[in-house]
Amino acid sequence: MSTWNIRAALKWAHETLLSEGIGEARITAEMLLAHVMEMDRFKLYLKPDDILDESQSNQFRQQIDQRCKGIPVQHLIGHVSFMGHELHVDRTVLIPRFETEELVEQTLKRLPDDAEMYFLDAGTGSGAIAIALLKARPKLQGVALDRSESALAMAKKNASLNGIDNRLKFICSDWLQEISTSFDLIISNPPYIRSAEIDTLAPEVRDHDPRRALDGGPDGLDAIRTLSQQVTTHLKPGGWFLLEIGHEQSAEVVALLEKLGFKAITVYPDLAKMDRMVEARWEG
């Protein structure tokens, strides 16, 4: 295929991905080819007859092969868009997903445009949540916390990439053990998948996202219990706690928060109409 052009490359990749049962085959082919060609994927259709050189052709074939083996697109191209902001990702951090964008959007409803509040992103991973909040609210200050040094290194890289690193502090801690201050808002996307369900997840999640970011223990609530308890000593009176949960966990999480003394507890569905977010106010 010495004269493999963009049109032919996309056709081959689309058919190959479909034959291997890979979802979103067309978009995947476009994203990978755009990465190889170093152009916006929508511009591929403006130059369908442009020829791939030998290096580009080989790289594209290799990436399609790797995707067929279950490697996530985001790991192949090295980045992901989260609420319109580019983030670097690799196997050290959870790939941020659309449900977490919904968590951020719900949180922003609690934050006026000129809010000068101090927040904590517990289990920050790539820094996606903290960065999105800081980009949307220019007067916020925050702390990004993770127990993984490699995850914090990625979060720092992404904070610098997005120009908000001067408003974000990074702390390595097993949940809030190393925290000594209080916050107006604490937000988290903790691990909440039951341990026995990990092996049933899609290969790109099971084999490539860090297990510590997925495994919530036997009932999926280990991290949520620990974090919820710790939050009670680190929220200012009137402060808000928001977290992402599994779609079958809302009743148990609400009962836990009620027992701890939280008020105004509300569960919100995601776009699939499944319970996915909980917010609660701490009155102190």
User: Where in the chain are the domains?
Assistant: 6-69, 84-282
Q: Tens of pLDDT along 119-160?
A: 999 999 999 999 999 999 999 999 999 999 999 999 999 999
| Backbone torsion region of residue 217, taken as left when φ is above 0, otherwise alpha when ψ lies between -120 and 50, otherwise beta | left
> What pLDDT score does 204 carry?
87
Could you say which of 3.30.420.40, 3.40.190.10, 3.40.50.150, 1.10.150.170 is the CATH number of the domain covering 84-282?
3.40.50.150
Alpha-carbon torsion, ordered 191, 196, 199, 202, to 10 deg: -50
| Residue 260 burial class via C-beta count within 10 angstroms: exposed 0-12, middle 13-18, buried 19 and up | middle
User: Global pTM?
Assistant: 0.92
In the predicted model, residues of the chain with pLDDT beneath 50 are 1
- Residue 2's pLDDT is 56
Q: For 50-65, how does the pLDDT look when each residue is reduced to its tens digit (9 = 90+)?
A: 999 999 999 999 999 9
